[in-house]
Chain A
Amino acid sequence: MESIFLSHFSKYSKGKIGKFAQEMTEEELIRGCLKHEPAAQRELYLQYFSKVMHVCIRYSKSPQGAKAILLNAFKNILNGFRNHVELNAKRKKDLPPITLEEWINKETIASAVQHMHADKKEHFVSSTVSMRDSGKKSDQELSDEQIINSSDKLMIIKALQQLTPSYRVIYNLHEVDGYSHPEISLLLDISEYTSQDSLSKAKFNLRKNICGIIPQ
């Protein structure tokens, strides 16, 4: 299963892994990207591609969507590199500076949210499963232990990609990236109650999707 997933993404790759990855330090990368040097930009892309791509896969519905988010994220990162420097300059001396990886991760999430808002094909249809049905357990449902023992990462990603965009984004933001409900409400322009409600529904639907994916 994992090999199929990787082969799907390897279609877009040309196998060019940066040969200068170990030669440039983070400081040099930042300086080069501030000057819009192509070599520094390429090096940054090669260094952080894998991490950014993992985030994009979580937030997207398909590999094509993940690629679109990734390209948009790198475009924003490389063009708005000055924002990273300004953020650190404005930051108080007591607090530790924002690392390049943290900033890139934040920019990627912002690009994913932007992509979600821009993509009109994916309608924001709420889950057909209501919370009243969450208490009911059918005979076909599995226990938590069975799910943990019989599922893997690719299954979970597939189940996550089956969620509606809003549920997927809220689940990722809260459960994986550690955003609080007030932060989510600010980022998505929704109320905190909506964020909490969507998260509980997303959890229920994800579990149901995983149960549907696991072969019985």
Chain B
Amino acid sequence: MKPASNSSPLDSFIRNSLKSADTNIPPFDWSEVEVLLKHEPRSMSVGASKKTILIAVAVAGVLLLTFGVFKIAEYYSNEAAETETSTDSTQNSFDLIDTANAAHATLPPHFPKIDSAAISLEKFKSDSIRAVIIADSIRKINIKEPVVKTIQKQDRKKRPDTTQKAVADTTSPKPNPIIPDTPPEPPVKEIIIETPLVPDTTTKNSAPNNSSKKRRKSKNSVPPPPAETKPDSLK
């Protein structure tokens, strides 16, 4: 604190007159102050200063905040775990598909858990894939059937039902090692080329169909003869 400087005579006069405490003011009753002191709790004279109290309060606040944040994080992590468990079944199915691919790549599959439902699902899928493959093979065989029949007719009685047996075998759940491995051939073209070489078979095959149609037509068109015999009967 420094005394004010650069002041006019009026300022210094006012300052001096305000500083002087020449007038003696009689004190108030001590009881008023005593009452105030008794009502007011004594300030922190224990030794702990305000700074330490503030620091302690701040530390306590920070601890409370961290505890609260930790609790909230724990709650959310639990929620996330619950959602993960609910989506485990779908993830397992995807994992199984991946392991199947890995098996093709000759990698050892490792499953964390084996679910019977998942295994059944796998079986179902493998069965369905097999069924599709079999259906394809059957279709191919059906397409190839005429060619095979011509060969069979050449052999006549030596191998009569081999194709039928093959078809019967393909319908069985046992995997056919030859059919899935065969790449998709263009057999239709070959058949188209080969069909003119064996005209008799095609005509023979188509002939009964035509004759049956003709028969049906003749049956429909030709009136029954007993209608003419009726007058005789009347006679």
A positions within 8 Å CB-CB of B:
2, 5-6, 9-10, 12-18, 36, 38, 41-42, 45-46, 49-51, 53-54, 58, 67, 70-71, 74-75, 78-80, 82, 144-145, 147-148, 152-153, 156-157, 160, 172, 174-180, 183, 203, 206-207, 210
Contact = CB atoms under 8 A, between A and B. Distances in A.
Given A41-B37, A148-B10, A203-B11, A16 B30 contact: yes
B8 interface: yes
Given A78-B37, A174-B4, A178-B4, A50 B27 contact: yes
Contacts of B40: 75, 79
B33 A180 contact: no
22 contacts: A5-B23, A6-B23, A9-B26, A12-B29, A16-B30, A18-B27, A42-B30, A45-B33, A50-B21, A51-B21, A54-B21, A67-B28, A78-B37, A148-B13, A156-B17, A157-B18, A172-B18, A175-B4, A175-B18, A176-B19, A178-B1, A210-B14
Interface residues of B, number: 34
A153 to B, nearest CB: 5
Given A75-B36, A145-B9, A152-B17, 7 more contacts: A14-B28, A14-B29, A58-B18, A67-B28, A79-B43, A153-B18, A157-B18
B15 A46 contact: no
A80 B3 CA distance: 28
Nearest to B41: A79
A10 B26 contact: yes
A147 B8 CA distance: 12
Contacts of A36: 42
A6 B14 contact: no
B14 A206 contact: yes
Given A36-B42, A79-B42, A54 B37 contact: no
B32 interface: yes
Given A54-B21, A144-B10, A177 B29 contact: no
Interface string B29-54: 11011101100101101000000000
Interface in B73-120: none
Contact of A147 (B7, B10, B36, B42): B10
A133 to B, nearest CB: 18
Contacts of B29: 12-14, 16
B132 to A, nearest CB: 84
A17 B32 contact: no
A17 B2 CA distance: 34
Q: Looking at chain A's contact residues, is the secondary structure mostly helix, strand, loop, or mixed?
A: helix
B25 interface: yes
A80 B45 CA distance: 8
Interface string B126-144: 0000000000000000000
B17 A71 contact: no
B130 to A, nearest CB: 86
Contact of A183 (B1, B14, B36, B43): B1
B28 A176 contact: no
The 6 closest A-B pairs by CB, nearest first: A49-B27, A13-B26, A178-B1, A144-B10, A14-B29, A79-B43
B20 interface: yes
Nearest to B36: A75
A179 B26 contact: no
Nearest to B49: A86
Contacts of B34: 38, 42
